[in-house]
Amino acid sequence: MTDQNEAVLLDALDKFLIAEVDPFVHDLEARDEYPHDIVEKMKEMGLFGCIIAEEYGGLGMTTATYARIVARITRSWMSLSGIINSHLIMSSAVQRHGTEAQKQRYLPRFATGELRGGVGLSEPDCGTDLQSIRTVAVRDGDDYVVNGTKTWITNSKYGNVLALLVKTDPTTTPAHKGMSLFIAEKREGFTVARKLEKLGYRGIDTCELLFENYRVSADCLIGGVEGRGLQQILSGLELGRINVAARGVGVAQAALDLAVAYAQQRKTFGKAICNHQAIQLKLGEMATRAESGRLLTDAAAAAYDRGDRCDMEAGMAKYAATEAAMENASECMRIHGAYGYSKEYDVERLYRDAPLLVIGEGTNEMQRIIIAKQLVDRNPA
């Protein structure tokens, strides 16, 4: 995608967000209501095919362009970026690791949003440590029979397909050698048990799932070979962490925008509070945090586009940008005073949304460990 095409796309996206999203976010979020109409318009714009190659019907965007799109969407409503993110992690797993037959069959339908979904990884007692999952798939003729439970699965109620991580050999050591990834479409045995209630990140469908004698064709084993599932999905999580970093940039920038605007309107002791040194110190730090997160996210996206190993870069971006989101949301609330605590203003939504970012796609504690290990590995004494 050329710089000119990217500029045209981002301009169209900005107009879409202003006209079709911003006026409705407050009420949709308050009701925890899924934005069906907005999602349909996102399909029309091709956003579900952002990084899917043009030969398979996608837009073929670079990850750098995609990250900018995510940051802009998040400035309006973080939940919308999550609807795209989980779907594209699934799509990336198929595009990077699927057989050619799987790519031809699924990627065009992923790109249009006809098939829309996410990734089925976490379980009730397993999040960061994916090798501890207990969902099992047993070969039965031309099918596998899946039994187990998944939780915190985005796009699982209104979506219709998942990249599902299971154990095809639960006895293997190390455990990852017995893990496989399937393209799992909704059918008998695939049950949405309940929608989970959340502090923030509302409107998007996050659910607990049950798999009871669910049958999936062997043709849907990504790559066609057992035992590669964990590696396949972890490569996709680099993209997921860049997405979450971009969301952090969006929340941090949204909080900064609100704080700068309010600080010029609110007056105390005869002058706008932006003229008080205490507020200026806050704004200066908020702006620096937002820009630092943006630059690290751009660097991680560029490394991903080059095909470099970028778990350290993605970890740095995710850590810095999401901590910026947390701190900026908190400072924005303080600058707004009592109004920041009111549900009439968007500040409190940012304050509730930001904590998810430091937890999702690998906690920030885990990111720091990844950064340190890679730092040592890349710089042997």
Helices (H) and strands (E) in the chain, counts: 11, 9
Which class for 343: exposed (0-12), middle (13-18), buried (19 or more C-beta within 10 A)?
A: exposed
188: its two tokens: 């008998």
Q: Which helix (H) or strand (E) holds 181?
A: strand 179-185
Tracing tokens 């439970």 back to the chain, one arrives at: 149
CA distance 45 to 20: 12
302: its two tokens: 């560029």
As annotated, the active-site residues are 361
Collapsing DSSP states into helix, strand and coil, what is residue 205?
A: coil
Q: What is the CA radius of gyration of the chain?
A: 21
- DSSP secondary structure string for all residues of 289-309: HHHHHHHHHHHHHHHHHHT--
How far CA 210 is from CA of 11, 101, 201, 219, 304, in Å, comes to: 42, 28, 23, 22, 34
Phi, psi torsion values for 185, nearest 5 degrees: -85, 150
